[in-house]
Amino acid sequence: MTPFVALTDIDFSEHSTQRMQQRGFDMEDVAVIISEGIERRAPGNASVHIIPDREIDARISLIKATGVNKKGLRRLMRLRNKAVVLSCDGMIITVEHRTKRLGPVA
């Protein structure tokens, strides 16, 4: 897990900004995925950040059990199968809806 990323610390490419609008991502989604997700290497020296389904499921169960943070519950449900792709210098290249699994966590 990466330490929490401030929205002001994130650089977005023009392409990623367009894709965020098209795919229903907001800046907070991106910050949460980068901060709380796992990082996987991708082709071209890039990295893909996602929050694994099992982590989302565990957090949803906790929220439902405690009845706390309903806004957080909605956000978690929105983040399922969403990914952020970063270049090696930390710029957001694109955002995507994951249709393929990334494989086991190392």
| Tokens of residue 37, six digits | 């997700």
Domain membership flag for residue 1 = no
Give pLDDT tens digits along the chain (106 positions): 445 566 667 789 999 999 999 999 999 899 999 998 999 998 888 999 999 999 999 988 988 888 777 777 888 888 999 999 999 998 999 999 987 665 554 4
* DSSP codes of every residue in the chain: -PPPPPGGG-EE-HHHHHHHHHHT--HHHHHHHHHHSEEEEETTTEEEEE--HHHHHHHHHHHHHHT--HHHHHHHHHHTTEEEEE-TTSEEEEEEE--S------
Question: pTM for this one?
Answer: 0.80
Domain membership flag for residue 85 = yes
Q: The sheet that has 46-50: what strands, in order across it?
A: 11-12, 91-97, 82-86, 46-50, 38-42
> 88 is in which domain, residue-wise?
7-97
Domain membership flag for residue 54 = yes
| CA dihedral of residues 98, 99, 104, 106 (deg, nearest 10) | -30
Domain membership flag for residue 106 = no
Number of domains the chain is built from: 1
Domain membership flag for residue 37 = yes
Domain membership flag for residue 20 = yes
